[in-house]
Amino acid sequence: MKIKLLLIIMLLCGAASAQQRSLSGTVTSKDLGTPLAGVTVKSPRQTVTTDNNGRFTVNVAPNETVTFTFVGMQAVNYTYHGETSPVAILLEYSSGNLNEVVVTGYQTQKKADLTGSVAVVNMTDIKNVRQGNPIKSLQGRIPGVNITSNGDPGGGATVRIRGINTLGNNDPLYVIDGIPTKRGLQEINQDDIESIQVLKDASSATIYGSRAANGVIIVTTKRAKNGVHRIDVNASSSIEYYTTKQSMLNTNQRGEAYWRAALNDKFNPNNNQIYQYDWNNDFNNPVLNRVILPEFIDAAKTMRSADTKWYDEISQASLLQNYNLAFTNGSERGNSYFSLGYYDNKGVVRESRAKKITMRLNSEYNFLNGKLKIGENFNATYANNVLIPTGDVLFTALVQQPIVPVHTVSGGWGGPASGMTDRHNPVRLIEDNKQNKNYFGRIIANAYADLTILPGLHAKTNYGVDYAGTWLRTLRKSYVSGFLTDPSNLVQNSQNYDGNLIFQNTINYNTDFGKHHIDAVLGHESIRFINQNFFASRQGYALENLDYAYLDRGTTNINNGGNGTANSLLSFFGKVNYVYANKYLLSGTLRRDGSSRFGANNRYGYFPAGSAGWRISQEPFLKDSKIVSDLKLRYSYGEAGNQETGNYATYSLYSAIYGLSNNDVIGGTAYDIIGAGTGTLPSGFVKIQQENPDLKWETTKESNFGVDFGLFNQSITGSVDYFIKNTSGILITPGYLAVIGEGGTKTFNGASMQNKGIDAIVNYDGRITSDLTFGISANFSKYINKVTYLPSEIYTAYAGNGTDQIIVGKSINSIFGYVADGLFTSADQVTNSPAQPGKGLGRIRFKDLNGDNVINDRDRTYISNGNPDFLYGLNLSLRWKNFDLAAFFQGVQGLKVYNSYKTYTDFSSIWPGGNWGTRTLDAWSPQRPNSTIPALTLVNTNDENRTSTYFIENGSYLKLRNLQVGYSLKDALKSIKVQNARVFFQGANLWTIKSKGYTAADPENPGNGYPVPAIVTFGLDLSF
């Protein structure tokens, strides 16, 4: 009997062995052509992960399906038919991947199950677009997200998600590895980022209720995966070029323009302190023979006449360097990811250098057979920026006269002479400030424990810190620069420290039964913000050298001060997602936030949200369609809060003002009440703010209608969203009438605003041959903003006249002014036009809008809403064998901008002592009757610098933001065990198409900000 039983067991084992076989192969990234480690390979019989070289072996029986999954990539199902040779599996990033895992706030969801408006960034597109701030790399790539920036090496950027929502701070909330912050991403190493999601609508963002009214950007950094042991090296060097310099007059041209202006005014041009002219002295038929330059422009004969090109003097072709080194080590028991990054940008404005060093350590360890996970994320940043006053440098380079030399004959500083505008030598501003630096450090870190209590049920506790500190010691030097002098010097030390302490606890549950799927989260969060700052300064230093000039070396004007502040948040939240049969989707959220910034009457706010979705493509009548592979309708409604106001806005505040400075004398509270005539004066207190215990949360309510679609097996994918967003109870602190007396300042909820619009994206992934593939992605967004309510007492604080023309019903960005109706070109026009002080031939003619035959402030109207008609982006990619090509275009259409450059480029009268633009050489005259540039004059009698449509220009543009060509060397370097090797050449901001109606150099920078440079980059990516 025993022998028979043994034989039966052997036969059964043999049959099972005959059925169970193994499948082996390699998993590779289709986008990068590199092996993928840590891919989950799952068959009905076994689950394994790929090793460091992307290789796997999994037990499987014939006709069974093996699934390959990797976070952020499209899952692949492979049916095994008994083959024995290794297989090659390609995984790709795809906007159409419905199984892609998306972080949505204390949870993750499949993209197919989303019911809110969530944008997922394809990190492959921005992998090598490094500009010191990951946000800059996203400009124009996400519909509904408007990012503006400049070329500042420090990497700042402004982000607006679906327009402007409030009258105060419109910055979104950033969540970095679960830690909420308002600081942005400029201190985060872009190479450390695994994924970025943008929660655009209120229903998605409500889970972060307290600060989510302006949208949420979720960033998840890289972690090691099981079986991955890798070293990554990324290096790139770039050259930046200043390609958008304004065209200004040289010395002779400046003299000629002055001569023309003087003649138009019937003024002898030789009656000036700089230029002399050889001309025929005939005002009716003037002829200029030559401009005579003096040997020296100052009476002391220290400054010789020059022909200085100020933009060339203050700018340079600069070097930008990026280096990153990362170590990844993953096993079943734990994993670690460690990286070092270095960024160095010297800037196209001389000495405006910014350097940054980042360090990251992410680790996680498993205990209790994987039921308990303990981990941490730690990021440290150290930055060092040179404190050049770039705004002043760029402005003075624009307006300083070219005849002024950089240096005097003895090597001192050149500067303005008699008859010139009192503007500094921009080179002196650079050289006298290049020793001043800002030192910045930031730590953002968290430690967590995640315990699986039951299958599908786990609890997580997380403690985080986001702490930043700034320290600087600056030396303001004495100087002599033309007639500008300051014999004093000053050293100032300042320190500022602030940060958040975050404590979070969540319980997550998910389960599947039948056709039902439920996942839910309950949570608690407390945040405490603290800030303190200190400054001290002295003057009277014998040596102007930072190695000497410490505070105790100063002898006069000893000054110091400092303060601190704090606020806290306490929150409870919950969210439930429900899916039935993979086609009916529901989601509900509720968050309760309490803020110390609000009074006891309204300290807590409740922010609910709900959404629903219908995956029509899963219905029987569409499920087998060969055209429609995905079609989902979505609707969501949500409310989110905003607490951006003063920390003590609900209280009456009093202050002791000792009257130690001239500004404090009138309101001083100190008095020699006992007539001692010496010693410290006793002081009282004065009220500086009124209380408001009823102050409450600013609330944004948003409805979102969306559709997601996929065609031809997800070759074409996209989404379209229409939203209506209403913000009420906007927090404002208006000015007050003097009759109220001291301490009239009060913060209250007193304004409302609406944004509505549409954003859309469509992607097409195509394959021409097995070696030739391409991708096209286009996005579009448009929004309309208007103020729906504003208290009457603050009408005058915004565009309008405060009476019959007010900002209510208009965009908050609106510009209010006069309508320019061309130039006066004939005597009849001058004679028969409405009364306008200063009118004359060649002068700007303004429209009489109210018909009273007088041009005055009653003829103003709204001349621009300050918003574009729409924003768009286009991304193109092509891959052939080991070559890849990518081009990204970003554009703005229909934006009417206020071109402030025209004040200096078109007029000789507004800044008569400065330099002017070359456009003045084409100004109106009887010989140039078709010119639209006002006639030159030395006196602004027509008040032509008033806000008018003359300065409003079409700011539309299309820019080639990025052009990149890469080549993979992995095949050539297989022998030295290189997993990935790629070289690339890249160009950024290579060309711009702008409207002919825009007269300055760059419509993206109409306000003389730091120039956006053209960048040429060479880079190398290696993995071992």
DSSP notation for 211-260: G-TT-EEEEEE----TT-EEEEEEEEEEEEE------B--HHHHHHHHHH
Strand partners, 109: 102
The answer to whether 948 and 863 are in contact (CB under 8 A) is yes
Does residue 70 form part of some domain? Answer: yes
pLDDT score, position 320:
95
Q: Name the burial class of residue 991, with classes exposed (0-12), middle (13-18) and buried (19+) by CB atoms within 10 angstroms of its CB.
A: exposed
- Which residue type is seen at 327? F
pLDDT band of residue 408 (cuts 50, 70, 90) is very high
- Domain C-terminal end among 91, 111, 146: 91
Domain assignment present for 50: yes
Question: Residue 506: pLDDT band by 50, 70, 90 thresholds?
Answer: very high
Task: Give, for 769, the enclosing helix (H) or strand (E).
Answer: none
The answer to whether residue 840 sits within a structural domain is yes
Query: Is residue 891, in this structure, part of any structural domain at all?
Result: no
Least confident of 29-43, 521-535, 600-614: 29-43
pLDDT tens by residue, 188-239:
999 999 989 999 998 888 898 768 889 999 999 998 887 788 899 999 999 9
Looking at the 3D structure of the chain, how many domains does it have? Answer: 2
Residue 45 lies in a domain: yes
Token pair of 911 as six digits: 């800044």
Q: Which of 74, 91, 108 is the last residue of a domain?
A: 91
CATH number for the domain that contains residue 63: 2.60.40.1120
Tokens of 838: 């200063």
Q: Please report where in the chains the tokens 């920026």 appear, as a residue.
A: 385
735, 746 contact by CB (below 8 A): no
What are residue 97's phi and psi, to 5 degrees? -75, 105
% of the chain surpassing 90 pLDDT? 66
CA 432/CA 245 separation, integer angstroms:
23
> Are 610 and 588 within 8 A, CB to CB?
yes
Tokens of 573: 């939240």
Residues 6+ away with beta carbon under 8 Å from 851 = none
CA-nearest of 122, 126, 338 to 230 is 338
Distances from the Cα of 282 to the Cα of 253, 278, 348, 782, angstroms: 20, 12, 47, 58
Are β-strands 87-91 and 21-29 bridged in parallel, bridged antiparallel, or unpaired?
parallel
Q: Which domain holds residue 71?
A: 22-91
CA distance 1015 to 239: 6
CA atoms of 162 and 706, how far apart (whole Å): 15
Write the Ramachandran bin of 2: left for phi over 0, alpha for psi from -120 to 50, otherwise beta: alpha
pLDDT, one tens digit per residue, over 90-140 is 887 655 566 667 777 788 777 777 888 898 888 888 888 888 889 989 999
pLDDT of residue 679: 64
> pLDDT value at position 809?
93
* Count of other CB atoms within 10 angstroms of residue 455: 8
List Cβ neighbours of 396 (8 Å cut-off, separation of 6 or more): 310, 423, 424, 425, 426, 429
Average pLDDT score, the chain: 89
Whether residue 352 is contained in a domain is answered as no
Tell me which of 18-22, 590-594, 798-802, 905-909 is least confident.
Answer: 18-22
Which of 58, 91, 124 represents a domain boundary (last residue)? 91
Q: What is the pLDDT of residues 645-703, one digit of tens each?
A: 888 888 888 887 765 544 444 456 777 677 776 666 777 788 888 888 888 888 999 99
Whether 117 maps to a domain, the answer reads no
Query: Considering the domain boundaries, does residue 300 fall inside one?
Result: no
String of DSSP letters for 430-445: HHTTTT-EEEEEEEEE
Residue by residue, DSSP assigns 932-964 as -SPPP-SS-TT-TTSSBTTSEEE--EEEEEEEE
pTM for this entry: 0.88
Residue 802 pLDDT:
87
891-919 mean pLDDT: 94
Q: Report the distance separating Cα 72 and Cα 120, nearest Å.
A: 9
